[in-house]
């Protein structure tokens, strides 16, 4: 029995990540697969597996979750907050459930194939829509992406993770698999440009900048990068002056069309700012549910466009910023703890490009999305934590060092 469980366990884990993009269609399946992993875990875990995990980083994460639970209990909002906090437990659970698996290659390939499947699925569905709709344009393709699969921002995140994994898998010396990883990078980049996932493209831009700090000829590359950044900043200043004008009127921002580069998030962050100013969150916050309720009230009072106002109310848009969400909902202490964990992980990994790029991805993504509010976001964060917190002893130090040299 133990041998059978050990044999199927990695494939259940891989299947979990293959189907995550289809969360809206097979919502129950990820939970079923998680349950299978949880049941099998005690039978196949060994003491050797437990030694793989980074104790210090894991303890910090566990302490953070425990603080959130105690905080909500003391503040008398445990039942309301636990709905959100239990989603935050998924990434830590993913890390522990991964321990019996021998190496990262299978899960890495699951992310790559998951991205490609999501891309193919979207394109096929779009072709079906084209046959049903005579009025088709490039913008029509972009507008239909959210309706076809998970939200565009999460498809973008998946593509970014796939690009990073594909890049890490490339080797300087000839290898037959290199062409497949290169093709994966090209396909994902083209897809991001087609759907205009601005968040993903911005993250990729910063990752490219980050890459200039690693490897040979850093000084020359950094000078060139600096010149390009200054030029881009100057161009943005003249093209999007409203970004640099904090007093701009944002009450008329609409969900589908906006003259502001930040789009509908501008209105959400404005409401979040009002909540912070009107309600002192203090050290312990006002609670996740109360934050959501106050945002809805703000949408009712602040948004003039009727259709947009109703859309915001129906969807109960959250803060769309993980850091603001922690500050308003759970207070300053939780925000400091969360940022402390991020900086600790950066300190442990900054010498190597790949893990640093993963951390940067999560940091930037958290500025425009509450990934702890969505199951799909929690699963992808769990994948990142697997890479950051698990040291696979089955990979020799020599091979690990060679891999880092090839990709740094």
Helix locations, 133-256, DSSP H: 138-148, 152-169, 178-195, 198-211, 218-239
- Inter-residue contact 264 to 258 (CB < 8 Å): yes
d(CA 299, CA 312): 7
Taking CA atoms, 37 is separated from 18, 30, 55, in Å, by: 15, 11, 22
- Inter-residue contact 112 to 166 (CB < 8 Å): yes
Count of Cβ atoms closer than 10 Å to residue 278 Cβ: 9
Cα Rg of the chain (Å, integer):
22
Q: Enter the tokens of residue 125.
A: 């569905």
- Inter-residue contact 331 to 282 (CB < 8 Å): yes
Residue 96, exposed/middle/buried by CB under 10 A (0-12, 13-18, 19+)?
buried
Q: What is the pLDDT of residue 407?
A: 46
The alpha carbon dihedral of 86, 91, 95, 97 has a sign of: positive
Q: Enter the tokens of residue 5.
A: 């469980």
Higher pLDDT, 174 or 301: 301
Cα first-last separation, the chain: 43
- Inter-residue contact 75 to 288 (CB < 8 Å): no
How does DSSP classify residue 303?
A: -
Flag whether pLDDT at 139 surpasses 90: no
Q: Which of the four pLDDT bands, split at 50, 70 and 90, describes residue 245?
A: very low
Longest CA–CA span in the chain (Å) reads: 67
How does DSSP classify residue 215?
A: S
d(CA 85, CA 65): 8
- Inter-residue contact 330 to 69 (CB < 8 Å): no
Backbone region of residue 331 per phi and psi (left: phi > 0; alpha: psi in -120 to 50; beta: other values): left
Q: What is the pLDDT of residue 36?
A: 92
Domain locations in the chain?
Answer: 2-132+248-407, 221-247
**pTM (two decimals):** 0.85
Percentage above 70 pLDDT, the chain: 80
> 143-182 pLDDT, tens per residue?
556 556 677 889 999 999 999 999 999 888 878 888 999 9
Count of Cβ atoms closer than 10 Å to residue 100 Cβ: 22
Q: Enter the tokens of residue 140.
A: 């029509």
Strand partners, 390: 53
Phi and psi at residue 367, in whole multiples of 5°? -75, -20
d(CA 370, CA 319): 7
- Inter-residue contact 351 to 322 (CB < 8 Å): no
Mean pLDDT of 311-336: 92
> 211-237 pLDDT, tens per residue?
888 877 666 667 766 766 676 666 555
- Inter-residue contact 178 to 170 (CB < 8 Å): yes
Q: What is the pLDDT of residue 235?
A: 59
Tokens 């989603």 correspond to: 87
Strand intervals (E) in 26-175: none
């Amino acid at each position: 029995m133990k041998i059978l469980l050990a044999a199927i366990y990695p494939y259940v884990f891989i299947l979990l990540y293959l189907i995550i993009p289809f969360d809206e269609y097979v919502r129950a399946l990820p939970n079923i697969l998680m349950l299978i992993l949880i049941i099998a875990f005690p039978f196949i875990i060994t003491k050797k597996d437990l030694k793989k995990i980074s104790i210090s980083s894991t303890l910090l994460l566990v302490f953070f979750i425990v603080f959130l639970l105690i905080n909500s209990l003391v503040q008398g909002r445990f039942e309301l907050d636990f709905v959100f906090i239990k989603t935050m437990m998924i990434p830590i659970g993913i890390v522990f459930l991964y321990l019996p698996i021998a190496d990262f290659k299978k899960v890495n390939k699951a992310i790559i194939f998951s991205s490609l499947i999501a891309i193919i699925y979207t394109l096929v569905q779009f072709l079906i829509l084209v046959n049903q709709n005579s009025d088709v344009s490039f913008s029509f393709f972009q507008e239909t992406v959210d309706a076809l699969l998970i939200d565009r921002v999460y498809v973008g995140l998946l593509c970014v993770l796939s690009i990073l994994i594909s890049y890490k898998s490339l080797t300087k010396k000839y290898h037959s698999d290199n062409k497949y990883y290169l093709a994966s990078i090209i396909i994902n980049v083209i897809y991001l440009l087609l759907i205009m996932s601005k968040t993903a493209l911005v993250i990729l831009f910063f990752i490219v900048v980050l890459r200039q700090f690693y490897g040979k000829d850093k000084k020359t590359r950094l000078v060139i990068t600096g010149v390009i950044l200054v030029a881009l900043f100057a161009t943005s200043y003249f093209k999007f002056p409203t970004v640099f004008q904090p007093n701009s009127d944002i009450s008329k921002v609409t969900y589908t069309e906006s003259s502001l580069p930040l789009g509908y998030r501008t209105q959400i962050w404005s409401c979040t700012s009002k909540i912070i100013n009107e309600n002192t969150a203090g050290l312990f916050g006002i609670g996740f549910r109360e934050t959501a309720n106050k945002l809805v009230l703000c949408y009712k009072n602040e948004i003039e466009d009727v259709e947009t106002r109703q859309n915001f109310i129906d969807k109960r848009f959250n803060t769309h910023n993980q850091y603001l969400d922690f500050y308003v909902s759970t207070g300053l202490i939780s925000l400091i703890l969360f940022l402390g964990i991020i900086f600790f992980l950066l300190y442990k990994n900054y010498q190597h490009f790949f893990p640093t790029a993963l951390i940067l991805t999560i940091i930037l993504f958290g500025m425009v999305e509450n990934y702890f509010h969505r199951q799909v976001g929690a699963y992808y964060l769990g994948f990142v934590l697997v890479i950051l917190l698990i040291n696979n002893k089955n990979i020799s130090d020599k091979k690990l060092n060679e891999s880092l040299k090839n990709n740094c």
